[in-house]
Amino acid sequence: MDYATLLQILDSTIRLATPLLLACLAGLYSERSGIFDIGLEGKMLMAAMSTGAVAALTGSVWIGLLAGISGAVLFALVHGVASITFRGNQLISGVALNFVASGITVLIAQSLFRQGGRTPPLSGEARFNPITLPFAEALSGVPILGPLYSEVLSGHGALVYIALLAVPVTWWVLFRTRFGLRLRAVGENPASVDTAGISVIRLRYGAVVITGILCGLAGAYMAAGLQAGFGKEMTAGRGYIALAALIFAKWRPWYALMATLLFGFFQALALRPDVIKNTVGFDVPVPALDALPYILTVIVLAGFVGRAIPPRAGGEPYVKER
């Protein structure tokens, strides 16, 4: 593999890892507060449809982004009401939202555009256009590091950089702020938080809303950044992969970045069967390459990467003692 090919794969890795990273951070906030959210997939799908539809109708990707975030937050609040207010089973609520999103997104898109459940192709201001970082052209001639900066780090849409920035912001919020301390405490021992006079319900709803916002960004990027419009089941299991990456990362932001980049790298490799052939010396079936991220997900969930201990109060509705 030459350096130019490596740069292309790394560029694809960042693009493909972005929705995984945003969804993984979304799950991190939710599960740190004690709310297991298997419905990341449904929220991403709803956001992708909302963004694709509104961006196609208005011609503005930013209005589409607001619509995508709104759709994901709406689904997140439904999950919050079911899990927090009515103390329902969190896993069942998440799965139900995934099924609802799978059907309602296609139904709405078909009703609006009559294109088989898809939105019209997005272009121009209806998509996230590449952003050239400062000095990218000037440094492109520098050996090794120049092309890495100008071809891999530069030239992505705004949401890619927002996703990367969200990692240190999440670390700071969770581990350096009063809100983060309380959020983590709610996920470990909500009774002690309640005893201190802090509302457990309010904190968990706050985490659920943050989850919806980040899933909205992930879905919007898929519809208006990674691709050019919404298509049926376009998330293709990325919400579940993000959950596997979250377990792999042991619920820590920086580890989440590394885990999602690893998953993104496997997805990027699946798009380059020629590289695999030149590396291993024989043809690898394309379906086998496509299955690589999902095989890694099974390996992670099977516990072959070490034991991951979730928040102790995760998945358990809080009942205030009287």
Mean pLDDT computed over 57-71: 97
Which two structure tokens, joined as six digits, stand for 185?
């405490």
Which two structure tokens, joined as six digits, stand for 287?
């379906």
φ/ψ of residue 60, rounded to 5: -120, 125
Mean pLDDT computed over 124-131: 95
* Cβ neighbours around 40 below 10 Å, total: 33
φ/ψ of residue 147, rounded to 5: -60, -35
**Per-domain residue ranges for the chain?**
3-128+149-301
The model's pLDDT over 225-279, given as tens digits with 9 standing for 90+, comes to 999 999 999 998 999 999 988 988 889 999 999 999 988 998 898 888 888 888 7
Mean pLDDT computed over 47-71: 97
Q: State residue 282's pLDDT score.
A: 78
Q: State residue 294's pLDDT score.
A: 76
Which two structure tokens, joined as six digits, stand for 191?
């009774």
Instruction: Round to whole Å and give the CA distance between 322 and 317.
Output: 16
Does residue 196 have a pLDDT over 70?
A: yes
The model's pLDDT over 139-189, given as tens digits with 9 standing for 90+, comes to 888 888 999 999 999 999 999 999 999 999 999 999 999 999 999 999 999
Does residue 4 have a pLDDT over 70?
A: yes
Residue count of the chain, please give it.
Answer: 322
Which two structure tokens, joined as six digits, stand for 109?
């898109």
Q: Tokens 């996920």 appear where?
A: 187
Determine contact, residues 77/212, Cβ cutoff 8 Å: yes
Q: State residue 309's pLDDT score.
A: 80
Which 3 state secondary structure label does DSSP give 311? coil
Look at 25-39, 157-171, 205-219, 236-250 and tell me which has the smallest mean pLDDT: 236-250
Determine contact, residues 33/183, Cβ cutoff 8 Å: yes
DSSP assignment of 25-42: HHHHHHHHTT---TTHHH
- The CATH code belonging to domain 3-128+149-301 is 1.10.3470
Q: State residue 166's pLDDT score.
A: 97
Q: State residue 120's pLDDT score.
A: 95
Instruction: Round to whole Å and give the CA distance between 18 and 39.
Output: 18
The mean predicted confidence, pLDDT, of the chain is 92
Determine contact, residues 260/17, Cβ cutoff 8 Å: yes
Q: State residue 66's pLDDT score.
A: 98
The model's pLDDT over 291-314, given as tens digits with 9 standing for 90+, comes to 877 787 777 767 666 667 888 888
**Confidence category of residue 319, pLDDT binned at 50, 70, 90:** confident
The model's pLDDT over 88-120, given as tens digits with 9 standing for 90+, comes to 999 999 999 999 999 999 999 999 999 999 999
Determine contact, residues 72/46, Cβ cutoff 8 Å: yes
Q: Which residues contact 131 (CB under 8 A, 6 or more apart)?
A: 154, 155, 156, 157, 158, 161
The structure's pTM equals: 0.95
Instruction: Round to whole Å and give the CA distance between 126 and 310.
Output: 40
